[in-house]
Structure 1
Amino acid sequence: MGTDTFNFDKKELIKQSFDQMDIHLQGTQYSLAQKVALTCRILFDNGHDSALAGQITARSEKPGTYLTQRLGLGFDEICAGNLLLVNENLEVLQGDGMANPANRFHSWLYRARPDVQCIIHTHAVHTAALSMLEVPLEISHMDNCVLYDDVAFLPEWPGVPVGNEEGELIAQAIGKKRAILLAHHGLLVACSSIEESCLLAIAFERAAKMQLLARAAGAIKPIDPVLGREAHDWILRAQRNAVGFAYYARRTLRKKNHQYCLE
């Protein structure tokens, strides 16, 4: 006979679910470069493309270095084989071409946050539209609670983010949070894995879209903070991130224009 769970309280059921996730949920075996390339393609498919704007970086094994895309290629053109390995000064150590000069603020953030392994910055259209209003991102729906109380806001636009001043400003503004909305600019997520960063970037743009739709109809009602934090921790599990990323990867790789991104 199985366990009768109808007398369990919510905490017990959550713990049971977490234990089962630890056993049953499996991620992928992609290399670091393949994960970065897949992230570029996944985000392209989910509305994060803005011509050549936006950067995705991931720490490499050697301290002070990270992988990023080559300037001049769109997210839908990135493959594992055309990524660049750069140092904090954006000098290319492996690969051909140059990195986006705006990656400088990534270097500042990596220095400030040893816990961060992957940074994603995009100008996804709904996030960019929301940034024009100079208001913070509001998390008021269950699906978006992965970002609950985890999104900072930079209300002033410092201009093109290629200077050290912008790097210091953004690194300070995000603090210990996983994401930030940059006014008149876009989104940035900084997480402990590529999988987590990818899924939070998708969630961020969806939350921005929902906020714009809801505000057009009326005032957004806040959710209970205790329940918001509970949902945040429920969704933000390494195993859930791994299988979520694997799902988006499968969906992306089914498309002919993305089938060679692992090479």
Structure 2
Amino acid sequence: MDKTFVEDKERVIQREKQKMQRHLSVGNWTVKEKVALASRILCRHGHESGLAGQITAREAERGFFTQRLGCGMSEVQASNLLLVDEQLRIIEGTGMPNPANRFHAWLYRARKDIQCIVHTHPPYTSALSMLGVPLAVSHMDSCALYENVAFLAHWPGVPVGDEEGKLISAAMGDKSGLLLAHHGMVVVGRSVEEACVLALQFERAAQLQTIAAGAGSIRAIQPELGREARDWLLHPARLGATFGYYARRELAVAPQCIT
């Protein structure tokens, strides 16, 4: 019998991860271009809510990139992004940054591993936030968020002050996602690619939870299997390839977003 059918699963997983590292291609985009692409990707998947929500990404030690206030997610281009410091003072670009970006600065200061932050109000996530129900990660596709999402049950109001920055950064802790009651989601990533993909999975998990809860009780995933799937889905090469797939779809219809 071929040894493939009797090989230890963990050994197979590690071997396939090494293959992904060698064979999966990722786009050679700048951080600004990735932010513009992520904004377009998330907009197409229902994360747009007027002028609400922000995507930011670190730029070395100078500050972070963000869209200017008044620019919708479908209008973001690499050329119209702002570079701001943690006091939201403009370093590069023209226009006004969203005052709500202030809590992003608190997250960047608290977590040196964070390279990108996504905050949006997509419909299913927002519906859960209105119910005051934590996100249930109980499907394989969402397992990158398994044991990786916190819940803030207290709504602090419009997040433009330092009080909100303290509250949100403390609630996030070491997690990658945070469901804000009466508000929306915050997702952080070690790259723009990771934050974008996790934000897509967050809303997908909220959608599945809403559908499943209407049909019966949601069954929990076995913890060891949830963690196994989380580690598989969070492999950087896989995340990069997933982002690349969505980016190519955007570039096919809006190549100007990175020119």
Q: Which runs of 5+ in 1 are unaligned?
A: none
Cα distance in 1 for residues equivalent to 2:76 and 2:41: 11
Cα distance in 2 for residues equivalent to 1:99 and 1:22: 37
Counterpart in the other structure of 1:36: 35
Q: State the shift of 1:62 in Å.
A: 2.6
The answer to whether the aligner puts 1:107 opposite 2:123 as a matched pair is no
Q: Please, which of 143, 146, 150 is the counterpart of residue 144 of structure 2? A: 146
Counterpart in the other structure of 1:260: 256
Q: Please, which of 52, 77, 80 is the counterpart of residue 78 of structure 2? A: 80
Q: State the shift of 1:259 in Å.
A: 2.2
Runs of 4+ in structure 1 deviating by more than 6 angstroms, as ranges, are none
Please give the secondary structure, in 1, of the residue aligned with 2:186: strand
Please give the secondary structure, in 1, of the residue aligned with 2:61: coil
Cα distance in 2 for residues equivalent to 1:53 and 1:22: 36
Q: State the shift of 1:206 in Å.
A: 0.4
Cα distance in 1 for residues equivalent to 2:22 and 2:59: 29
Counterpart in the other structure of 2:161: 163
Counterpart in the other structure of 1:117: 115
Please give the secondary structure, in 1, of the residue aligned with 2:151: strand
Please give the secondary structure, in 2, of the residue aligned with 1:73: coil
RMSD over aligned CA atoms reads: 0.9
Report 1:182-197 matches (<5 A): 182-197=180-195
Cα distance in 1 for residues equivalent to 2:60 and 2:110: 18
Counterpart in the other structure of 2:61: 62
- 1:42-98 deviations in Å (ceiling 9; x for gaps): 0000000000000000000234x0000010010000000000000000011110101
Report 1:202-221 matches (<5 A): 202-221=200-219
Letter in 1 for 2:202: F
Relative to structure 2, which stretch is displaced further, 17-26 or 227-236?
Answer: 17-26
Q: What is the TM-score of this pair, normalised by structure 1?
A: 0.96
Counterpart in the other structure of 1:172: 170
Cα distance in 1 for residues equivalent to 2:106 and 2:94: 24
Relative to structure 2, which stretch is displaced further, 246-255 or 165-174?
Answer: 246-255
Cα distance in 1 for residues equivalent to 2:112 and 2:10: 32
Q: What is the TM-score of this pair, normalised by structure 2?
A: 0.98
Percent identity among equivalent residues?
55
Letter in 2 for 1:127: T
Counterpart in the other structure of 2:25: 26
Q: State the shift of 1:7 in Å.
A: 2.1
Cα distance in 2 for residues equivalent to 1:179 and 1:185: 14
